[in-house]
Structure 1
Amino acid sequence: MSRENGLINAEDVAREYRLSETLARDIVSGETQRVLRRSPLAWIVFVAGLGLSGFLYFMPGAARDSALWVLIGCLAGWMMVGRYLAGPAIRRTAKDKAERLGHPGA
Structure 2
Amino acid sequence: MRAVGVVERLNLADMTAPGVMAREFGLNLGQLASRRYIHTQRISRQIYEALDNSGFPVFDGLLYPSRNNFPATCIALFYRARAKVVVVDDLPLVQHVDWPAFVNQYRIGVAKV
Task: Give TM-score, length-normalised by structure 2.
Answer: 0.27
Instruction: From the CA coordinates, give the structure whose radius of gyration is larger.
Output: 1
Task: Give the helix-richer structure, 1 or 2.
Answer: 1
Task: Give the strand-richer structure, 1 or 2.
Answer: 2
Task: Give TM-score, length-normalised by structure 1.
Answer: 0.28
